[in-house]
A and B are shown apart, each in its own frame.
Chain A
Amino acid sequence: MTGTALPPASADALLFDYLLRLADSDIVLAQRLGEWVGKGPVLEEDIAQTNVGLDLLGQGRLWLAYAGEVEARYATRGRDENELAYFRDGSEYRNLLLVEQPNGSYADTLVRQFLYDAWHLRMLDALARSRDERIAAIAAKASKEVRYHVERSSGWVVRLGDGTDESHVRMQRALDALWMYTGELFAADASDDALVAAGIAADVTALREPWRQAVGDVLAEATLAMPSDGWMQGVRGRGGRQGVHSEHLGQLLAVMQSLPRAMPDARW
């Protein structure tokens, strides 16, 4: 990526917000996957789901730690990863709407995962070419892990989509219900545009066609129909990445943040 430089202070503020956008989708989805711990349909899946969540949590922490360092460059102080994760309210979270959707049945969880994984991998591969070395390093590392995530969720979409009548119906229903959240994956706002121009952020609009192609291939093998784009959530500058969330996020954060908020100085 190449591009034009931004003035330092405003560039840092934009970068901070962008790093939260990357971190928060990982952290919120990790928390959702954590809700499955001990309740997976089979032992191997319970473990797989938890491992994926753990990877996402680790990646989210890398982004948050960097965000805190960037914040310290222009604000009076930078918050650490715990403060950023546990002491921001829902409207300050910058995650995609897709990942905060409830777990539902295993079909809902897997379809959500598949749609995200297929986007996440392409996003990280684009970010690995960022002019910001720290972003490039985190993305290159995370990309290797997310490759496993894509293989797993793609495999399950095929097995359950092209499985029994019941599993097929459930997968198609989950796909139809979650599709409206996929538009946001490729919606860029002014702050994205500025960082793309500076060679720092990934151009999500360029990821849309490769994503559709890859998702379409898996869905075809799974005998599932790709839904048509209807009303898409969060694409007009008022979505999760701008802090406008569904009601589900507040409930998720209430659980995730309850302990540190009740006992702010608690140490393990």
Chain B
Amino acid sequence: MRAGEAVIWGALAGVPDPELPFVSVVELGIVRAVEPIPDVAPARGITPARGTDPIPATARWRVVVTPTFSGCPATRVIEADIRTALDAVAPGACEIVTRLAPPWSTDAIAPEARRKLAQAGIAPPAFRCTAAAVTRSGAAAALARGAAAVACPRCGSQHTREVSRFGSTPCKAQFRCDDCLEPFDHFKPH
């Protein structure tokens, strides 16, 4: 890792998701990459010696982010929080760009973050199964699939059911446990 890059990643790892403050925007896969931007073109005719770092120490950084859900109201807050964190460690050295492709997926959520979600009472997403065929039984299939896959984050029971595909934030579905009878949020596989 080049000098400076670790500092940038460190700052980003300290930015919590506004709705899920126990996980960072890095763990959620919102930060996609940190790329060096050479601030001057290499002088003509000069080839960097073999083994030297072609990126000057004063390199600027491009921080690539991707939105989770298109309409998520937290997107703007997240970008402002990232800006604040970057300016604190590297003032004026970073630009933030949004990249849509490939679309964000819950598969990008780190294992450690999945554990933290469960600890906070939010059933973490399973790795994404193929999207239900959009047919007459699509809704029923989705319900059945949800109930089979999601364990209650409180008691661990598999006897849970989806109350609604849509929950308190765009990324969550509402579930209920049929054993401990508690309602809970499920971070839906996306």
With A141-B100, A144-B190 as known contacts, state yes or no: A151 contacts B132, CB within 8 Å: yes
Interface size on B, residues (CB 8 A): 33
Indicate with 1 or 0, residue by residue over B150-178, a CB within 8 angstroms of chain A CB atoms: 00000000000001111110100010000
Cα-based distance from A206 to B100 in the complex (angstroms): 27
Please tell me if A115 contacts chain B, counting CB pairs below 8 Å: no
Check A152 against B101 for contact (C-beta < 8 Å).
no
Please tell me if B73 contacts chain A, counting CB pairs below 8 Å: yes
Within 8 A of A (CB), among B126-157: 131-132, 134-140, 142-143
Cα-based distance from A121 to B134 in the complex (angstroms): 9
Cα-based distance from A138 to B67 in the complex (angstroms): 11
Check A151 against B174 for contact (C-beta < 8 Å).
no
With A44-B163, A59-B70 as known contacts, state yes or no: A51 contacts B170, CB within 8 Å: yes
Please tell me if B71 contacts chain A, counting CB pairs below 8 Å: yes
Chain B residues within an 8 Å CB radius of A92: none
Partner of A56, one of B71, B134, B166: B71
Within 8 A of A (CB), among B13-48: none
Check A47 against B136 for contact (C-beta < 8 Å).
no
Partner of A217, one of B71, B100, B132, B135: B135
Chain B residues within an 8 Å CB radius of A62: 70, 100
Interface residues in chain B, defined as those with a beta carbon under 8 Å from any beta carbon in chain A: 67, 69-73, 100-105, 131-132, 134-140, 142-143, 163-168, 170, 174, 188, 190
Given A51-B166, A58-B72, A154-B139: 20 more A-B contacts, CB < 8 Å: A44-B174, A47-B174, A51-B71, A54-B72, A55-B71, A58-B69, A140-B103, A141-B70, A144-B190, A145-B69, A145-B70, A145-B71, A148-B165, A151-B165, A152-B139, A155-B142, A214-B134, A218-B135, A218-B136, A221-B136
